[in-house]
Protein backbone atom coordinates (compact mmCIF):
# COMPACT_ATOMS: atom_id res chain seq x y z
CA UNK A 1 0.00 0.00 0.00
CA UNK A 2 2.65 2.45 1.05
CA UNK A 3 4.76 1.53 -1.93
CA UNK A 4 1.82 1.93 -4.25
CA UNK A 5 1.22 5.44 -3.00
CA UNK A 6 4.76 6.65 -3.39
CA UNK A 7 5.11 5.28 -6.89
CA UNK A 8 6.12 7.89 -9.40
CA UNK A 9 8.23 9.77 -6.90
CA UNK A 10 11.84 8.96 -6.45
CA UNK A 11 12.08 6.23 -3.89
CA UNK A 12 14.85 6.02 -1.40
CA UNK A 13 16.87 2.87 -1.18
CA UNK A 14 15.89 0.90 1.91
CA UNK A 15 17.90 2.03 4.92
CA UNK A 16 19.16 5.21 3.30
CA UNK A 17 16.60 7.46 4.98
CA UNK A 18 18.19 6.92 8.36
CA UNK A 19 21.60 7.66 6.94
CA UNK A 20 20.36 10.87 5.34
CA UNK A 21 18.74 11.98 8.59
CA UNK A 22 21.93 11.22 10.52
CA UNK A 23 23.98 13.17 7.97
CA UNK A 24 21.57 16.10 8.16
CA UNK A 25 21.69 16.16 11.94
CA UNK A 26 25.50 15.97 11.92
CA UNK A 27 25.47 19.53 10.53
CA UNK A 28 23.18 20.95 13.17
CA UNK A 29 20.27 19.88 15.37
CA UNK A 30 16.96 20.31 13.58
CA UNK A 31 13.23 19.67 13.89
CA UNK A 32 11.41 17.09 11.76
CA UNK A 33 10.11 19.56 9.19
CA UNK A 34 13.56 21.08 8.88
CA UNK A 35 15.12 17.68 8.25
CA UNK A 36 12.64 16.94 5.47
CA UNK A 37 13.20 20.37 3.92
CA UNK A 38 16.94 20.06 4.16
CA UNK A 39 17.06 16.70 2.38
CA UNK A 40 14.68 17.86 -0.29
CA UNK A 41 16.63 21.07 -0.87
CA UNK A 42 20.09 19.54 -1.02
CA UNK A 43 18.86 16.82 -3.38
CA UNK A 44 17.36 19.55 -5.54
CA UNK A 45 13.87 18.14 -5.02
CA UNK A 46 14.89 14.71 -6.29
CA UNK A 47 14.39 13.10 -2.88
CA UNK A 48 11.16 13.85 -1.03
CA UNK A 49 10.82 12.66 2.52
CA UNK A 50 7.35 11.45 3.42
CA UNK A 51 6.07 12.29 6.90
CA UNK A 52 4.82 8.72 7.14
CA UNK A 53 8.40 7.47 6.89
CA UNK A 54 10.26 10.28 8.59
CA UNK A 55 8.60 10.23 12.00
CA UNK A 56 8.67 6.44 12.55
CA UNK A 57 12.32 6.55 11.46
CA UNK A 58 13.05 9.28 14.01
CA UNK A 59 11.37 7.22 16.72
CA UNK A 60 13.37 4.17 15.70
CA UNK A 61 16.55 6.18 16.01
CA UNK A 62 15.44 7.46 19.41
CA UNK A 63 14.96 3.89 20.59
CA UNK A 64 18.37 2.92 19.34
CA UNK A 65 19.88 5.94 21.03
CA UNK A 66 21.34 7.46 17.85
CA UNK A 67 19.55 10.76 18.33
CA UNK A 68 18.10 12.63 21.26
CA UNK A 69 15.15 14.99 21.20
CA UNK A 70 14.47 18.25 22.96
CA UNK A 71 11.73 20.84 22.81
CA UNK A 72 13.11 24.24 21.79
CA UNK A 73 11.97 27.45 20.18
CA UNK A 74 12.28 27.47 16.41
CA UNK A 75 13.56 30.32 14.21
CA UNK A 76 10.05 31.71 13.77
CA UNK A 77 9.52 31.63 17.52
CA UNK A 78 7.45 28.42 17.69
CA UNK A 79 7.90 25.46 19.99
CA UNK A 80 9.35 22.52 18.05
CA UNK A 81 11.03 19.22 18.86
CA UNK A 82 14.69 19.41 17.85
CA UNK A 83 16.67 16.26 17.20
CA UNK A 84 20.37 16.07 17.97
CA UNK A 85 22.97 13.52 17.00
CA UNK A 86 24.39 11.50 19.92
CA UNK A 87 27.82 9.91 20.14
CA UNK A 88 26.26 6.58 19.16
CA UNK A 89 24.60 8.33 16.26
CA UNK A 90 27.92 9.75 15.03
CA UNK A 91 29.41 6.26 15.15
CA UNK A 92 26.42 4.86 13.32
CA UNK A 93 26.74 7.56 10.64
CA UNK A 94 30.31 6.45 10.03
CA UNK A 95 29.20 2.82 9.69
CA UNK A 96 26.37 3.71 7.32
CA UNK A 97 28.57 5.98 5.21
CA UNK A 98 31.21 3.35 4.67
CA UNK A 99 28.60 0.71 3.97
CA UNK A 100 26.83 3.02 1.53
CA UNK A 101 30.02 3.86 -0.32
CA UNK A 102 30.78 0.13 -0.52
CA UNK A 103 27.35 -0.65 -1.90
CA UNK A 104 27.15 2.29 -4.25
CA UNK A 105 30.67 1.60 -5.47
CA UNK A 106 29.67 -1.99 -6.11
CA UNK A 107 26.51 -0.95 -7.93
CA UNK A 108 28.49 1.49 -10.02
CA UNK A 109 30.97 -1.21 -10.94
CA UNK A 110 28.17 -3.54 -11.95
CA UNK A 111 26.49 -0.86 -14.01
CA UNK A 112 29.70 0.16 -15.77
CA UNK A 113 30.57 -3.26 -17.09
CA UNK A 114 28.70 -3.87 -20.26
Contacts with another protein, residue ranges (CB under 8 A): 31-33, 50-52, 55-56, 58-60, 62-65, 69, 71, 74, 78-81
Q: Which is nearer to another protein, 50 or 97 (CB)?
A: 50
Q: Which is nearer to another protein, 11 or 51 (CB)?
A: 51
Exposure string (b/e) for 29-54, b if CB count within 10 Å is 16 or more?
A: bbbbebbbebbeeeeeeebebeeeeb
Shortest Å, Cβ 17 to another protein: 13
Long-range contacts of 69-78 (CB under 8 A, 24+ apart): 70/29, 74/31
Q: Which is nearer to another protein, 14 or 71 (CB)?
A: 71
Shortest Å, Cβ 87 to another protein: 12
Shortest Å, Cβ 57 to another protein: 9
CA distance 55 to 59: 6
Asked whether the beta carbons of 68 and 60 are under 8 A apart, the reply is no
Shortest Å, Cβ 41 to another protein: 12
Amino acid sequence: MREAKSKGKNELLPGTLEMLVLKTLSIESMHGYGIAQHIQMLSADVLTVEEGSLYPALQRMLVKGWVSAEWKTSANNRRARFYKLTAAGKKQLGIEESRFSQVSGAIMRVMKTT
